[in-house]
Chain A
Amino acid sequence: MGKVRLSVWVDREIYNLFKEFVFKKHGKLHGVFGLELTRAMELYLKKEALSKR
């Protein structure tokens, strides 16, 4: 599946927490940061779609 570059401004504290979370989970950031962010977005979209019902 293709990848695209996302560039956005986010809350610094949240960014740091997220980085910490990804590093704790995978022991690295490179190659997995985007995967975790994709997962976060999928979860968010799912939750939003479901909460509409």
Chain B
Amino acid sequence: MGKVKLTVWIDEETYALLKAYVVRKYQKLHGVLGEEVDRAIRLLLSLESQENPEEALFKTVKPSRKYIDLLRWLYDKGQRDELITDTAIKQYIRFNLGVKSKSSIYSYYNFAKMFLVEEEKTEDKVTVFSVDIEKVEKYAKIHNIELEEPARTTVKEPEPSKVTIRGFEVSLETIPKKTPNQSALAEIVMDLYQSGYSASEIVNKLEALGLNISANRVLNIIRKELKNEFI
């Protein structure tokens, strides 16, 4: 079969993600990037050729136990008309579903995004979503999932709490009030740090979550994480 050169301007972020994926899969880019683009186009065409591409995508994604828990949590949020942030979703995945590795958290986050509508991206780089209940129900129907059952949690659900971050009310109910382990704490600190908060602001935010940590410790965590990233 003949080949043709495809040259096109595409979204920078998506291109970076695709490149990272290809390098992970093949340990190289040359000669294989085109194959992956080819597959991406085939997928889009096959989904679009069906009457309902969204339904087709839902059918291809089989629900695991944790997917179902996440789906029920989203459904609950949607029913209460609550907005949720990307951070809150990742915290839920990490602490309530017990998912540890970053790549796995990202996969579960991607699953959640199938049912979310982006409402706003704040100055603090926090993305705020609402839940599309109809999509949740559609997925549940396809896979015979009972949405009303309480979600299984590995950590006792803390009291709902909200904090205001630069005038924006953010739900933090999924963050446990107990002191998390070192890596979890580091992740929270780095999330806040990368959102532009100073060490003292981070201390205040953590205090709001019931975590009493000194500014020195926060600074040490940031230094250590930055050093690790640099290495």
Interface set of A (CB-CB < 8 Å, partner B) = 1-15, 17-18, 21, 33-34, 36-53
Q: Is A50 in contact with B107, judged by CB distance below 8 angstroms?
A: yes
Task: Report yes or no: B107 in contact with A49, Cβ–Cβ below 8 A.
Answer: yes
Per-residue contact bits, chain B 1-36, to A (CB 8 Å; 1 contact, 0 not): 111111111111111011001000000000001101
Contact of B21 among A2, A21, A45, A51 (CB under 8 A): A45
What is the predominant secondary structure among interface residues of chain A facing chain B?
Answer: helix
- Residues in B whose Cβ lies below 8 Å from that of A53: 64, 67, 104, 107-108, 111
Q: Using a Cβ cutoff of 8 Å, how many contacts connect chains A and B? A: 140
Stretch at the interface among B40-48, B73-81, B180-188: B40-48
Chain B residues within 8 Å of A, Cβ to Cβ: 1-15, 17-18, 21, 33-34, 36-45, 47-48, 57, 60-61, 64, 67, 104, 106-108, 110-111, 113-114
Asked whether B40 lies within 8 Å of A3 as measured between CB atoms, the reply is: no
Cβ A40 vs Cβ B9 within 8 A = no
Q: Which residues of B contact A38 (CB under 8 A)?
A: 10-11, 14
Please name the residue on chain A nearest to B42 by beta carbon. A14
Which residues on the B side are within 8 Å of A21 (C-beta)? 44-45, 48
- Assuming the A-B contacts A48-B21, A50-B107, are A40 and B3 also in contact, with contact meaning beta carbons closer than 8 angstroms in the complex? no
Q: Decide if B106 touches A49 in the complex (CB within 8 Å).
A: yes
Assess the A12–B1 pair: CB atoms within 8 A: yes
Minimum C-beta distance from B62 to chain A (A): 8
**Is the pair A4, B110 in contact by a Cβ cutoff of 8 Å?**
no
